[in-house]
Structure 1
Amino acid sequence: MMLKRCNQLGTNLIRSCALQSRCASSHRVPVEHEHCFTEEHAAMRASLRKIIDADINPYVDEWERAGSYPAKEVFGKLGKAGFLGAHKRGYGDSDLDYTYAIAVAEEIGSIRCGGVPMSIGVQTDMATPALARYGSEELRQQFLYPSVRGELVGCIGVSESGAGSDVASLKTTARVDGDDLVINGSKMWITNGGQADWMCLLARTEADQPVHSAMSLICLPMKTKGVKVNRLIDKMGMRCSDTAEIFFDDVRVPLTNVIGKRGEGFTYQMQQFQEERMIGVALALNPMEFLIDETAAYCSQRQVFNAPLLANQTIQFKLAELETEVEALRSLLYRAAALYSKGHDVTKLASMAKLKGGRLAQTLTSSCLQYWGGMGFTNEVVVSRFYRDFRLLSIGGGADEVMLGIISKLMGIVPSRKKTK
């Protein structure tokens, strides 16, 4: 199921003039996949791209140097234009399905860094899916719809210093006290944490229940008394995205802030992970294609031993191989998204896409950086930025090893553990 695109590298990668004319604001737009996308998807992409080219990409370098970006301003523009989750159940009269989220995420990937797209993805596909699916209308009115409109910035509070991929080990508690929950604990590596208006928090609410029935997802306003942003974390990549450690000291919220049923939060979060993992892959497709193009362009101009680097068949073949891998990843993602939009559980496919995407991103950025030589080791070119940013893809949202465990289990090849005396 191979996707054809408008301006493919083709069989001849030595095309110096064409590559030199490709400006930073252009990219290869895929021909719409017959099973997923329509002209409406294409129109949405084009409209979003205008906003990115005019209001985001011109400022990315500045935001990277500053180590932050104005999330409220950017979210406001995207939300007003309808790009922050208009497919969400219950929002307006929209009948958009999840394939629109994938189309939007692919286009968001044309932002020339990893931090801003990741921050947006947290809002659209990590903090809000369970709220849209299970939340009360009151909670939707208070948190979901303003987030879709870009009026609020959300974050997802799952990971802790001792519980990253192992969600079952989290320690943060939310004890029932009358009509309230009293929250104590901490969360770590929280994207948008320094600017967020609210958090979709996973905490233990049922002390006497098995782990899978002991947790709840809770809408937590970040200005609630007892919530403290302890520090912003200095990261090697995703530089312009703020990442925070957050403490909770006897934080009170109403019981009605629980999303869905109490004790079902672990299950809801596992479902949210399907969207998180698919959206992470979608955000990476455009940058990977962009880096292939940029590397081919650089190698067509860089002279080594009186010939362009791109005259070397080794480089041609490597870029062709990487191009093929990106197309295979896209097909896997599109299959998962199409099934998910029809109500299917795609945990296995989403985990496969996440695994493949994280590993391909590392291979691709490393290979491309190598062909840039000394320039690739500087902060003056975008390939080094994505080399740093994309290392997170094999860690965040579930490490590669967790994905392999999920896939193995769903394949039915994990032996049952028998207790020995």
Structure 2
Amino acid sequence: MVRDEETLNVMLETVSRFVKEQLIPIEEDVSRTDAIPDEIVDQMRELGLFGLSIPEDYGGLGLTLEEEVNVIFELCHASPVFRSMIGTNVGIGSLGIVIAGTEEQKQKYLPKLASGEIIASFALTEPDAGSDAASLRTTARRDGNSYVINGVKRFITNAPEAGLFTVFARTNAEEKGARGVSALLVERDTPGVSLGKNEKKMGQQGGHVCDVIFDDCRVPASCLLGKEGTGFKTAMKILDKSRTHIASVCVGAAERIIEESVRYAAERKQFGKVIGEFQLIQAMLADSKAEAYAARCMVLDAARKYDEGKKITTESSCCKLFASEMVCRVADRGVQIHGGYGYTHEYAVERFYRDMRLFRVFEGTSQIQQLIIARNMLKEL
């Protein structure tokens, strides 16, 4: 639901200008150095990008999901690594507190997340628990007025920069399934928290991922997010929204790749004319445009339903599945249209080709999305 079309349009124009003037010109430098400049992060703070979805009462912009995905469409015309910097604060790092946090937890953390003063991370995945998140082994043992956490979390986005972790751990050792899992808020400087080395990734350089290790990490019982045993339910509620958000990232990136491909096809000459005049090139451009448009429509439809208070577990999985697969096809066609140049660093499509592959894997693989969609269809029957 868009509450004020004029205000939203002003914000979209501002973000679009920021992308064109500040982000796109430094994409290659960010990829080469594996770092986003501090001054760019400061500008993202000033634009309010860290607090897009956080309620206004806690210092955020309080955007509806429809408004949020429209902003992300624009932001992700630049390398997706810039979105990754704000992504955990906007989504999985803050939404749990919004959904299940006490007023004290909200007052303590949400304003700092909204301003970008601290970065949040979502510590769910483990070495032996990825898609099967309910089988996680990290434990949080109750000891008086504290919980003692032990375990390892893997592939945690923004962990090197994070000041706050939402940690999912088993508080009931006898309950092996999802019902034994709870969520806890753990600050980075808590004794017993340490980080592994930064992972060297295929793409999205500038966005950092590493292990988070908990070794007899003692936190107050007040760090519990919601009730014991409800952590997995909270995680799934968060993912319903965040998967729609990720789908919007894929749409924005696909639109950028298409722009690059159309521009190249209109300039590159072979056999005495621009390659955009060849029908096989036109077919690739047309297929990419049609698929990106379909994904955009899906995302907007799911966002509107979410804003209406409807459950969108199936719709968000449909968006995540289709959009992440779509953008990889678009990126592949982009490289193909650029020919040999598409395989070099000279053109952005090479980097986008690598960057896009992640979206079919994280926050639920394409295969997990298929299972969720099909199981929900059978339940509805």
Secondary structure of the equivalent of 1:232?
coil
Q: Does the CA contact (< 8 Å) of 2:119 and 2:161 recur in 1? A: yes
Secondary structure of the equivalent of 2:214?
strand
Aligned to 1:107: 74
- 1:394 counterpart = 2:369: no
Aligned to 1:62: 29
Aligned to 2:248: 282
RMSD: 2.1
Secondary structure of the equivalent of 1:360?
helix
Cα displacement string for residues 238-295 of structure 1 (whole angstroms, at most 9, x for unaligned residues): 1111111121111111111111112111000001101221111111222211211211
Give the C-alpha shift of residue 212 in structure 1.
2.3
Residue in structure 2 matching 1:49, options 16, 34, 41: 16
- 1:172 counterpart = 2:138: yes
Residue range with higher mean Cα deviation, 221-230 or 94-103: 94-103
- 1:193 counterpart = 2:159: yes
Letter matched to residue 263 of structure 1: G
Question: TM-score normalised to the size of structure 1?
Answer: 0.85
Q: Does the CA contact (< 8 Å) of 2:247 and 2:319 recur in 1? A: yes
Unaligned runs of 5+ in 2: none
Query: Judging changes above 3 Å, is the alpha-carbon distance between structure 1 residues 382 and 49 closer, same or farther for their aligned structure 2 residues?
Result: same
CA distance in 2, matches of 1:158, 1:246: 10
Query: Judging changes above 3 Å, is the alpha-carbon distance between structure 1 residues 309 and 53 closer, same or farther for their aligned structure 2 residues?
Result: closer
Query: Judging changes above 3 Å, is the alpha-carbon distance between structure 1 residues 116 and 147 closer, same or farther for their aligned structure 2 residues?
Result: same
- 1:412 counterpart = 2:381: no
Give the C-alpha shift of residue 141 in structure 1.
2.3
Q: Does the CA contact (< 8 Å) of 1:121 and 1:280 recur in 2? A: no
Aligned to 1:321: 287
Residue range with higher mean Cα deviation, 280-289 or 393-402: 280-289
Query: Judging changes above 3 Å, is the alpha-carbon distance between structure 1 residues 154 and 318 closer, same or farther for their aligned structure 2 residues?
Result: same
Question: TM-score normalised to the size of structure 2?
Answer: 0.94
Cα displacement string for residues 348-381 of structure 1 (whole angstroms, at most 9, x for unaligned residues): 0000010001111111100110111111111221
Q: Does the CA contact (< 8 Å) of 2:302 and 2:316 recur in 1? A: yes
Residue range with higher mean Cα deviation, 80-89 or 196-205: 80-89
Q: Does the CA contact (< 8 Å) of 2:101 and 2:225 recur in 1? A: yes
CA distance in 2, matches of 1:272, 1:260: 13
Unaligned runs of 5+ in 1: 1-33, 416-421
Query: Judging changes above 3 Å, is the alpha-carbon distance between structure 1 residues 308 and 81 closer, same or farther for their aligned structure 2 residues?
Result: closer
Q: Does the CA contact (< 8 Å) of 2:59 and 2:115 recur in 1? A: no
Q: Does the CA contact (< 8 Å) of 1:36 and 1:338 recur in 2? A: no
Give the C-alpha shift of residue 55 in structure 1.
4.2
**Matched positions, count:** 380
- In proportion to residue count, which structure has more helix? 2
Letter matched to residue 33 of structure 2: A
Give the C-alpha shift of residue 39 in structure 1.
2.2
CA distance in 1, matches of 2:379, 2:180: 28
Aligned to 1:124: 90
Q: Does the CA contact (< 8 Å) of 1:199 and 1:221 recur in 2? A: yes
Q: Does the CA contact (< 8 Å) of 2:60 and 2:111 recur in 1? A: no
Give the C-alpha shift of residue 174 in structure 1.
0.9
Query: Judging changes above 3 Å, is the alpha-carbon distance between structure 1 residues 222 and 175 closer, same or farther for their aligned structure 2 residues?
Result: same
Give the C-alpha shift of residue 84 in structure 1.
2.1
Residue range with higher mean Cα deviation, 86-95 or 215-224: 86-95
CA distance in 1, matches of 2:80, 2:326: 15
Aligned to 2:321: 355
Give the C-alpha shift of residue 119 in structure 1.
3.0
Give the C-alpha shift of residue 387 in structure 1.
0.4
CA distance in 1, matches of 2:222, 2:357: 39
Q: Does the CA contact (< 8 Å) of 2:72 and 2:252 recur in 1? A: no
Residue in structure 1 matching 2:112, options 123, 142, 146: 146
